[in-house]
Amino acid sequence: MLDAMFFNRLRAAEAPSARRFEVRSPIDGHVVDTVADSGAAEASAALDRASAAFRVWRMRTAYERSGILKAWHALILEHEPLLAELMTVEMGKPVTESAGEVRYGAAFVEWYAEEAKRIAGETMQSQFPDKRLHAIRQPSGVVFAITPWNFPIAMVTRKIAPALAAGCVVIVKPAEQSPLSALALAALWREAGGPPDAFQVLTALDPKPLSGVLLDDFRVRVLTFTGSTQVGVELYARSARTMKRLALELGGHAPFLVFADADLDAAVREVMACKFRNGGQTCVSTNRIYVQESIATAFLERLTAQVAALRVGNPLDPSTQVGPLVDQAGVAKVTAHMRDAVVHGATVLTGGDLRSGLYYQPTVVTGIRPDMRMMREETFGPVAPVLTFATEDDALRMANGSPYGLAAYLWTSDLRRAYRVSEGLEFGIVGINDGVPSTAQAPFGGVKMSGIGREGGHWGIDEFLDIKYISVGLT
Ligand code: SIN
């Protein structure tokens, strides 16, 4: 139960600060709790503590680090119902999805508990008989992780489990809309025996003062960020001054191509899962559904019927499929995109309006043109724009005609087409007949304006390891 005792456990994981701010639930606007409002002074103090902690944590054996990560993983799973409820209350995701996210988030901790033990180097051949050449991999240092509100647990663990496994220490700045989930993770980390200063959480209403300190300090060696492309570009530029390593997971604008040879029911099912999970507030949710002309009418009939039947409501009710948007800014963006589309001639097949509060009706819209706002920017809401294409070449050209390159999807029964199209798509992630490909052991990340670096799988830990060449003379 989310009672006073539970919130007190979270307090233990907070950085001390004289100021506090309210966390309000998008369900009905009630105040869930207050959290520390950290600024520049708190960031400096946290960095001093992190730097000291790094000297100790990096010296623990990979087996010791792995053991603590495993204990943390077990505690996260043990707290699944509580963490799911907390996440739903603070950011509005349907509680069944929140429970799924707790398991998804825990899977990164489990994966990197195992990867910690597989960090390895190389020995090269030398042209000299009296030399030995080695490359070893060592933790990079203090990591600054800026995490988004849309996956308040999984985006923290996907970033910091590999960092901690590698021997780095982390300061996390969670989004102001959902700081409590990050604090819960930090509390469980401590309860699992993790050193408190190896994983610190700095909550803030205005992230700029604290971020400025951490971005400009040379002791922070890695910046890992998930958020908008606009902010990512600013962080990229600012990090150059101290030559930080960067992993940037930025905006997406995912196309979903449905070919005439697709199994239509399966394609609609997967478009629904891809588009409407987390109410469409997902970087890898499709923003542009392209359907081959000959099946467009049948596809739209089925999609519209299923979207109209989605259960919108209180996300704490396990039967709810779409909850509220996260905040007023989210509603304003969805509303503006829809208004722009309708003014420019789009047709709404279902939905198309705000229901009440932060609850937006799941929407299907056609008659979309490439210059509409929703074709150029992420809508980040439950809106499915459907367009048509004539040939495979057209589909590829339309899909690739975007500066973003995070995720793309296609549905076809033709194996040769599946390979041809997936290899031609300029995206970091491709789902062939799969609308929800994300998983802990696979690489997650984009190309073009969708970012640099990879999270997940064995790739994810590389972002936190430096390579050191050691040459040994034996004369
Ligand atoms: C995201 O929206 O950034 C994360 C989605 C995922 O992990 O599938």
Ligand 1 near 170 CB (within 6 A): no
Whether the per-residue pLDDT at 16 is higher than 90: the answer is no
Q: Which domains does the chain have, with CATH numbers?
A: 4-250+450-472 (3.40.605.10), 254-439 (3.40.309.10)
Q: Which of 168, 147, 167, 166 is nearest to 158 (CA)?
A: 147
Site to probe by mutation for ligand 1, drawn from 149, 151, 429 as the one with most ligand atoms within 8 Å of Cβ, is 151
Instruction: Say whether 168 is catalytic.
Output: no
- Cα 315 to the chain's mean position, in Å? 20
Site to probe by mutation for ligand 1, drawn from 284, 380, 404, 409 as the one with most ligand atoms within 8 Å of Cβ, is 284
Query: Could you report the per-residue pLDDT of 425-459, keeping only the tens digit for each?
Result: 999 999 999 999 999 999 999 999 999 999 999 99
Q: Burial, 128: exposed, middle or buried (Cβ in 10 Å; 0-12, 13-18, 19+)?
A: exposed
pLDDT attached to residue 58: 98
Whole-number Å distance between alpha carbons of 350 and 366: 10
Q: Which residue has the tokens 């009710």?
A: 317
Tell me the CA–centroid distance for residue 130 and ligand 1, in Å. Answer: 51
Whether 290 and 267 have beta carbons less than 8 Å apart is answered as no
Whole-number Å distance between alpha carbons of 468 and 34: 44
Tell me the CA–centroid distance for residue 38 and ligand 1, in Å. Answer: 27
Whole-number Å distance between alpha carbons of 58 and 55: 6
Tell me the CA–centroid distance for residue 145 and ligand 1, in Å. Answer: 16
Q: Is the pTM of this model over 0.95?
A: yes
Site to probe by mutation for ligand 1, drawn from 283, 285, 450 as the one with most ligand atoms within 8 Å of Cβ, is 283
- Cα 233 to the chain's mean position, in Å? 17
Ligand 1 near 278 CB (within 6 A): no
β-pairing, 465-473 with 354-356? unpaired
pLDDT attached to residue 17: 86
Query: Could you report the per-residue pLDDT of 194-222, keeping only the tens digit for each?
Result: 999 999 999 999 999 999 999 999 999 99
Tell me the CA–centroid distance for residue 356 and ligand 1, in Å. Answer: 27
Taken in order 89, 90, 94, 98, is the CA torsion positive or negative? negative
Label residue 225 by pLDDT band (50, 70, 90): very high
How many residues can be counted in the chain?
475
Query: Could you report the per-residue pLDDT of 372-418, keeping only the tens digit for each?
Result: 999 999 999 999 999 999 999 999 999 999 999 999 999 999 999 99
Instruction: Say whether 249 is catalytic.
Output: yes
Tell me the CA–centroid distance for residue 155 and ligand 1, in Å. Answer: 7
Ligand 1 near 438 CB (within 6 A): yes
Query: Could you report the per-residue pLDDT of 18-52, keeping only the tens digit for each?
Result: 899 999 999 999 999 999 999 999 999 999 999 99
Q: Which atom of ligand 1 is nearest to the CA of 437?
A: 8
Query: Could you report the per-residue pLDDT of 71-115, keeping only the tens digit for each?
Result: 999 999 999 999 999 999 999 999 999 999 999 999 999 999 999
Helix (H, G, I), strand (E, B) or coil at 102: helix
Whether the per-residue pLDDT at 179 is higher than 90: the answer is yes
Give the closest residue (by CA) to ligand 1 atom 1. 283
Share of the chain above pLDDT 70, in %: 100
Q: Which of 272, 253, 330, 286 is nearest to 92 (CA)?
A: 330
